[in-house]
A and B are shown apart, each in its own frame.
Chain A
């Protein structure tokens, strides 16, 4: 029996570059070169959730942070928070909580700066379809040396904060179940205070760069992967931005509350995960809305959409301006992530300053324990969004169950939607597909600052790919390091 299958071509971008981790994008084109479908595939696999079983509970914060070298602190603290619940440490001593917060703000600062300055700035400064030879970090250093220097030094400062709270810049041991293993000496405090004012100036400057970009290119930003979605984040009890702790808030596309101040120990009652055959990354959704409509976004954009205010003055002023752009309604523009991300950097710098002046950091009461439990959930607002760690531990202190839902997994549907939107807009009907056009797709993925190794808890080489297949399934083009098959360079 002959079945006339519609003819499609598939464009594959592999690897997608300037993101953390390895993934690829496939774009299916029909006979008229219109985009039928686009998908972001995450094809790494790591298995942390399996091999941590049998390990001892206090090892979890140190083991799981090895998922990543970019934001290990987020995993370190999320695991420690889950283990706090298990060891019965319901209220940490002030020194412990503040040291962890300091570590976390240093982490969000350095990771967000890394993404904006090192990974995304070439797109924003030179244009999405600028020649590849120009659109890279080396050219940023050449043409905008001051900005590049600020990016490097701000990241360094964030790493220094981590060094003095976790013991090492990457993969330290500061957070332990029930507390922290060190306080901040006066010498360390004074060292960090030396550059804090400079950091504030530069952080404000970075907000201005991102804001200016958004406002000056507003028509493009509004057209580029701008789609309705729900948003999920932690919020403080009073509705303020809190990257370390709070209740879960989900809002719909119009900004209406779906659920609010949910104790994240009960997150399984509100969020489920779906598996799809073409990706190692799961698809979480809000249970009450179902798998089809329940998807949501997380991260800086979602956080700034969800919170009522920011409790530091400079970032709060910027937040107001950010919200004013969409008349206090949710901002759904993927490219607005950059602006939101820089507002959070400013918030982190202000928070770091506030904490450094707090004498609690020199306290000696470092940890606490209480009634032992068998299960615990730790949630933190990581640089890329909400990060969930869920563990079960037996009476021998051995881990029997682990489930990690990382920020990039929450954003899985959002990123797929962004890829489809941009592919349809920039690739549909085009006879000749250029590398610059394909970079638009990568820019959409990059806006989410995905950490793909985290998201699949994966092993192997890093970068991401875009591939183009014809109707017979033959690879027409792959935008990988082996660029050039089928499509002429710019």
Chain B
């Protein structure tokens, strides 16, 4: 079980090591599969489904699906990209994602993913416009769950890296939320130095490091000049140009 094997992604041969997921193998090969809940360094949980691919014709989350020899994976196809676009759109509808006034704008993975997938206009469905209070009780951290996409990265970071278990899901279905293991953030043992509070963990503007908002000027923010996923695509043997969907190609 120690020999490398091959499978194909959109017709291209990808080499995988035993134990790798489809996403791991594709990352190594420089083939980008969009994702929001998965981030390097944390255990994948396959909850956002943005990394949905087709494996031998059936949909699967690439971040948790083990790579197998000879499977045929569809990644950058109009159908699969359409699924992802719908999933990301639903995230925008579920929360209050006001990019124009959000300090995460320009480094927000949700926003960057929407741009990458060519989401350029509203869909026909209503926005849920939830009303969720901001927890600003902690001296250095604020929590604005209006912007939460339930990716669970903070839960895993606090549990697996910080060993604190500050965050957890509460509620079920449409009522599912991120909760704190105390009355509020100030009453928990959260610290600004926790990995869970770092800018790499929260993909949106939900976990806010106080008094740092808008420090990065427009033009120098993470995704101002390069689309999300560019650093993975830069590893590709042919260094293919990053594929960003032209909004005019979008089928709404």
What is A's interface to B at a CB cutoff of 8 Å?
Answer: 54-56, 58-59, 61-63, 66, 87, 166-168, 171-174, 176-177, 181-182, 369, 396-398
Contact = CB atoms under 8 A, between A and B. Distances in A.
Nearest to A173: B214
The CB with the most chain A CB atoms within 10 A, among B103, B208, B213, B216, is that of B213
B142 interface: yes
B103 A398 contact: no
Given A56-B213, A59-B103, A172 B133 contact: no
Interface in B196-210: 208, 210
Contacts of B103: 58-59, 62
Contacts of A177: 211
B126 interface: no
Q: Say what secondary structure dominates the interface of chain B.
A: loop
B213 A58 contact: yes
B210 A56 contact: yes
Contacts of A54: 133-134
Contacts of B216: 181
A168 B218 contact: yes
B13 interface: no
Contacts of B210: 56, 397
A428 to B, nearest CB: 48
Interface residues of B, number: 19
B1 interface: no
A167 B142 contact: no
A59 B215 contact: no
Contact of A56 (B100, B134, B218, B219): B134
Nearest to A57: B211
Contacts of B101: 59, 62-63, 66
Contacts of A174: 217
Contact of B217 (A55, A171, A181, A397): A181
Q: Say what secondary structure dominates the interface of chain A.
A: loop
B210 to A, nearest CB: 6
Contact of B214 (A181, A369, A397, A398): A181
Contacts of A56: 134, 136, 142, 208, 210, 213
B129 interface: no
Q: Which 9 A-B pairs have the closest CB atoms?
A: A167-B218, A182-B217, A396-B136, A58-B213, A181-B217, A173-B214, A63-B101, A167-B217, A398-B136
Interface string B173-200: 0000000000000000000000000000
B137 to A, nearest CB: 6
A429 B201 CA distance: 73
Contacts of B214: 58, 61-62, 173, 176, 181
Given A167-B219, A398-B134, 10 more contacts: A56-B142, A56-B210, A62-B103, A172-B218, A173-B217, A174-B217, A181-B215, A182-B217, A369-B211, A396-B137
